[in-house]
Structure 1
């Protein structure tokens, strides 16, 4: 995916779906981020289409569909490698064909650059709708087989069979890049697996633990203030007399109604998402993707939370929510779980969750888990436990909690989780990024190195370099380039 669609907390999926209904921005959303495209910087990048198999694991099934991909031949030399950027859980962003660290490497190494959109995301529609029966064809294994078939056919059609192929990806596609090299070593020579969660896990409370530490890295009091605010809100939710004021404080689209624990959990998770999203992408250089809101950082959030002139921590928490809505041109916040349920169970390609929300949650229910619950005491939020999150698998797709747990076991058995036996894969991760908790942060072997970048966020090394980039980030990009130079000689 590069990081045009980096793996997000489920609360961001909630917000992504709600933004598609209630925001006043134009254009489609980049994955599940709460980001509204300002413009399309890559309108000149042409869509290409590849005839792909629907089911790679059933020889009797001859159905096919059209998969979208992009091409950049600007740097290609006859003896150069082929770089393949892997699409992820949202529309493939053609901006990556014009910007990004991988193109700097491509220019130096004479690489042909390709990007393949992930099945069921963006314009790559393998089936007539997103019914649960059709989503059975959505999996990382089918996606890897798509990559393998694409690589084989394109190599033959373009005379690239003897060229060395390198896979790139960030977040979930970073995992795919590593697994592509692991499962198809005869097709891909090396891989750069940025911010890649390689260990599937049903309950992922470590995510919010990293959020605490990342907020504390800015100001030790900041996560404590967030916790006080969250706890105060939880107490107010116990009294229906407070609902009218809460509705005004957080600029809700309709008067708050808490009829079940799921209603309160949904509201609390949505508000926590303001902090989770900013921490994950803190100071990321994403402007080239044509999105707005990149000026909201951990420093900004902690500044608001520390501003006593705004009132007590609860009032500051509400101020953060209003700031985020103003920044992303959102008229109001829908806190209704019943609305969210309706959006997520709409199976049309024109539905509000078809940009990626319905598809990615399905993958979490059937492959990965990754549920960022509040079950750990070492994090700043309250009110959205694992049980609430897993129950959505049954609501949306009729997948039980037992089936979720078994699916995660199978994923780790298939890919090996942290125990990767391969070569020529590099694993860059940022210390601020909560996803590093499920990634490779120490060298497995000299040929499976990790690059742990202090002070940086999700996929930071993939974005174009800036003069204000910290030295650690500059060194990480140089290290990756050095590894590519070395591996392409092997």
Structure 2
């Protein structure tokens, strides 16, 4: 029996509540490893021949002995044992650490585990992050995509206290030990793999639970985008660089367009003019709505700037094509870029301002306020964007307004580290691959240089967000193929060393 998992594009989930968390303008760029736009209009199938879904009776609170700490919830995990060599051969386990969303999209879009399982004769496991998908302590309430339970969770002052990365890592530790115990796979080495926030979790898991995992592949993990370790301009400076490399004319047009939007908006009926020019799906209320949409569109295109289509190139081809017509003005050229990027929407309207909430936007708003906030801003004069510095006071106001909590901007570095990372990790860290594509704006907060012989940075000049762990394509360029091969070689080296040690211990 085929299990049909209705997994629509995250960004287009039906609105089930009138409350919007933070609004489009105040949201940090998404950390999702898979480009949500790639899944538009698609459904994800989990077949019985490959995958089995299980639920583990997970502990709600791993770190206290309060009465509520003994509560449990059902945590979902999905296993593919097709290629596993078995416990009697101590065959390895490749474990994907879920992040800020239901696990279904990762099962469908993250190909690194399935594609390499036959080579390693590995068991493949996907673990869902607490509070997302069907792993919410309040229940799924409508299916893995439903936002009802997430809404209740982040607004419940008792339950949301258990919604954090440390508890999630403890979940993964307990669940992996459970799986090994259940399969009698005590000597099977575990490699944890994650992308974006999940990549951060993978690297932190290796540091916090080295007795459970042999190593970690952390793809596009911005573990240094906290405190003042990474300049706040890092993200949008990379977006600017991506567009400037795609087309100097495109970069200049976008850079000049912001003042032009403001100028037209200030005219009588200016907002109506802009609404008509950009074919918005609803009338603009102010110029900021349009500018935020365009800013987020450019950021999204740069972050997921993957071959063979390369969204930044597609936008710039639209801008440059319109620029060749002497009758077009700056805003006409920018709109041509919007059309090139959003062409599947059709000619009725191209810009939808009414972005709906989904599990990721709601859950990540809480996580960003409580511990995972990255200080992303724009101060550089060479940026193609208008100046918009990160405002810590505004962030505090937003968090207080939405959740009634003060952010803890220093907690991530206090608990996981980050300052002086080279000196510290070279002393005690090992077996971590930090992979990044330099066209990914989040690479500005990633580890880009080797820390030691066993903490390795693999970077590609043209790579984008989490591209290395996604399903491989025949059109993949050679540099991407090589990056994946290098990752496999390193992991294979870890395995060889492990099995040699295991053999010696058994003698």
Cα distance in 2 for residues equivalent to 1:382 and 1:390 = 23
The CA deviation at 1:48 is: 1.8
2:71 is matched with which residue: 56, 63, 66?
Answer: 63
Match of 1:67, SS state, is strand
Correspondence 1:319 to 2:336:
yes
Structure 1: runs of 5 or more not aligned: 1-14, 23-28, 259-263, 286-294, 341-351
- 1:160–1:183 distance in 2 versus 1, CA, 3 Å: same
CA distance in 2: counterparts of 1:416 and 1:257, whole angstroms: 43
- Whether the 8 Å CA contact 2:190–2:212 is kept in 1: the answer is yes
TM-score (norm 2): 0.79
Task: Tell me the CA shift for residue 305 of structure 1.
Answer: 1.6
By how many angstroms is 1:451 displaced? Answer: 0.4
For the pair 1:40 / 2:35, whether they are aligned, the reply is no
Structure 2 match to 1:151: 176
Classify the secondary structure of the residue corresponding to 1:52: strand
- Name 1:237's counterpart in structure 2: 265
1:355 aligns with 2:365: no
How far residue 234 of structure 1 moved from its aligned partner, in angstroms, is: 2.8
Q: Deviations over 1:18-64 (max 9, x none)?
A: 66459xxxxxx997834543333423244321111111112231111
Instruction: State whether residues 233 and 379 of structure 2, in contact with CA within 8 Å, keep that contact through their aligned partners in structure 1.
Output: yes
Distance 1:360 1:240, change over 3 A: farther
1:372 is aligned to 2:376: yes
Question: 1:383, 1:392 → 2: CA distance?
Answer: 20
Task: Tell me the equivalent position of 2:476.
Answer: 469
Aligned counterpart in structure 2 of residue 213 of structure 1, from 241, 248, 254: 241
Matches within 5 A, 1:263-342: 264-283=287-306, 295=309, 297-307=311-321, 308=323, 309=325, 311-327=328-344, 333-335=351-353
Q: Normalising by the residue count of structure 1, what TM-score does the alignment of the two structures yield?
A: 0.82
SS at match of 1:103: helix
Structure 2's unaligned 5+ residue stretches are: 1-8, 17-31, 139-148, 498-507
Q: Deviations over 1:223-245 (max 9, x none)?
A: 22211112311333344530111
1:356 Cα deviation from its structure 2 partner: 1.2
Q: Deviations over 1:405-456 (max 9, x none)?
A: xx22121121111613410001110010111111100001111010011111
Asked if 1 retains the 8 angstrom alpha-carbon contact of 2:95 and 2:124, the reply is: yes
* Aligned counterparts, 1:75-154, within 5 A: 75-78=83-86, 79=89, 80-93=91-104, 96=107, 100-127=111-138, 129-132=152-155, 133=157, 134-154=159-179
CA separation in 1, counterparts of 2:107 and 2:35?
Answer: 17
Query: For the residues of structure 1 that align with 2:446 and 2:109, how far apart are their CA atoms?
Result: 28
- Please give the secondary structure, in 2, of the residue aligned with 1:199: coil
Residue number in structure 1 paired with 2:414:
413
Deviation at 1:75, TM superposition (A): 0.9
Aligned match of 1:459: 466
Match of 1:51 among 36, 47, 57: 57
Moved more, 306-315 or 154-163: 306-315
Equivalent residues of 1:41, 1:95 under 8 A apart: no
Sort the Cα spacing of 1:89 and 1:98 in 2 relative to 1 into closer, same or farther, 3 A: closer
Distance change >3 Å, CA 51–CA 19, structure 1 → 2: closer
1:128-147 deviations in whole A, cap 9, x for unaligned?
52333232221111110111
Q: Following the alignment from structure 1 to structure 2, what is the Cα–Cα distance between the partners of residues 353 and 30?
A: 18
3-state SS of paired residue (1:479): helix
Q: Is the 8 A contact 1:201 1:408 kept in 2?
A: yes
How many equivalent pairs are there?
437
SS at match of 2:455: coil
CA contact (8 A) 1:97 1:113 kept: no
**Range 441-450 or range 410-419, more displaced:** 410-419
Counterpart for residue 199 of structure 2: 174
Shift of 1:472: 2.0
Name the CA distance, whole Å, in 2 between partners of 1:243 and 1:47: 51
Q: Residues 393 and 146 from structure 1, CA distance in 2 versus in 1: closer, same or farther, beyond 3 angstroms? A: same
User: Do the aligned residues in 1 keep the contact of 2:78 with 2:125 (CA within 8 Å)?
Assistant: yes
Distance (whole Å) between structure 2 residues aligned to residue 55 and residue 240 of structure 1: 58
Tell me if the contact between 1:268 and 1:382 (Cα under 8 Å) persists in the aligned partners.
Answer: no
- Contact 2:15/2:357 (8 A) holds in 1: no
Whole-Å separation in 2 of the counterparts to 1:147 and 1:328: 40
Q: 1:315 to 1:385 in 2, by over 3 A?
A: farther
> SS in structure 2 opposite 1:77?
coil
User: C-alpha displacement at 1:91, in angstroms?
Assistant: 1.5
Indicate how the Cα distance of structure 1 residues 54 and 188 shifts in structure 2: closer, same or farther if over 3 A, else same. same
Aligned alpha-carbon RMSD (Å): 2.7
